């Protein structure tokens, strides 16, 4: 699934080609996404100019004077800039045609993504109750410490909860916990403030590095420019179960936690 770095990479890729552009038309070839594409969406967007492209958690928001387009990439989706007359392929479900002649093309093989409409000034239920953005000042080790008190759930599950902090998906939770030296199964409420301060910094570090590398390509993710991400080459633990730890050479262990693959080093993480 595209996680926060992949979505932010997509935002940065499409933003320069979108800002200030008038939407000429919207071509919906397949409306049956996770939630059906609203029948009125093409009419709502036609003639509107894109004022800003924002990311909130794993959602993209294309703001216009008449409202906002809410996009989620789902499990396998991508949103790319098409600058030529390349014909749509099987899973290219929606094209947003801009006055420049460029297209924003939404591809989603599994159709778990969405394209929804938000009237001006309204908040969507999908965006309500979300925690802070991990790369902003509001996110800190002190916040994690406060929210974790009395929690018996595993710390990995805790930091992957979007009500705690948004966008810390499975790949980056594994990596941040390794860099912070914290065992992923340790109870969230039994971790000290000092260790949470370290973890918060490592979360910021991992996500920033992943964004700089264009995300992590594990299957078929590409950014807004159509290029893959390269952060997978820097992974310390994720996808490396049974291989030597890059720090101490001990074999990395792999288990399931909350139905997600969890990889860690018993020597380096406590």
Instruction: Single out the catalytic residue among 12, 22, 34, 260.
Output: 260
Active site residue 58: yes
Instruction: Single out the catalytic residue among 55, 58, 80, 195.
Output: 58
Active site residue 260: yes
Instruction: Single out the catalytic residue among 3, 6, 15, 175.
Output: 3
How far is residue 71's CA from residue 122's CA, in Å, rounded to a whole number?
A: 15
Annotated binding site: 91, 110, 151
Instruction: Single out the catalytic residue among 2, 5, 134, 184.
Output: 2
Annotated binding site for DNA: 91, 110, 151
Active site residue 40: no
Please list the active-site residues: 2-3, 58, 260
């Amino acid at each position: 699934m595209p996680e926060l770095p992949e979505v932010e990479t997509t935002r940065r890729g499409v933003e320069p080609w979108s800002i200030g552009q008038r939407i000429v038309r919207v071509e919906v070839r397949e409306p049956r996404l996770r939630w059906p594409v609203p029948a009125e969406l093409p009419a709502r967007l036609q003639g509107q100019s894109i004022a800003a492209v924002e990311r909130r958690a794993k959602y993209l928001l294309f703001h216009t004077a008449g409202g906002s387009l809410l996009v989620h990439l789902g499990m396998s989706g991508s949103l790319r800039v098409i600058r030529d007359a390349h014909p749509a392929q099987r899973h290219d479900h929606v094209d947003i045609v801009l006055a420049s002649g460029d297209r924003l093309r939404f591809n989603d093989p599994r159709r778990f993504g969405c394209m929804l409409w938000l009237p001006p000034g309204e908040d969507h239920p999908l965006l309500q109750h979300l925690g802070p953005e991990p790369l902003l000042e509001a996110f800190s080790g002190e916040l994690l410490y406060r929210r974790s008190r009395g929690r018996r759930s595993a710390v990995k599950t805790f930091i992957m909860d979007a009500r705690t902090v948004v966008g810390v998906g499975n790949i980056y939770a594994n990596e941040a916990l390794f860099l912070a030296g914290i065992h992923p199964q340790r109870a969230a409420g039994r971790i000290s403030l000092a260790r949470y301060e370290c973890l918060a910094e490592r979360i910021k570090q991992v996500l920033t590095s992943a964004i700089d590398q264009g995300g992590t390509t594990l299957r078929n993710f590409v950014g807004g420019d159509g290029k893959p991400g390269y952060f997978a080459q820097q992974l310390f633990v994720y996808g490396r179960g049974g291989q030597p730890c890059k720090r101490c050479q001990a074999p990395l262990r792999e288990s399931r936690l909350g139905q997600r693959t969890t990889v860690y080093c018993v020597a380096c993480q406590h």
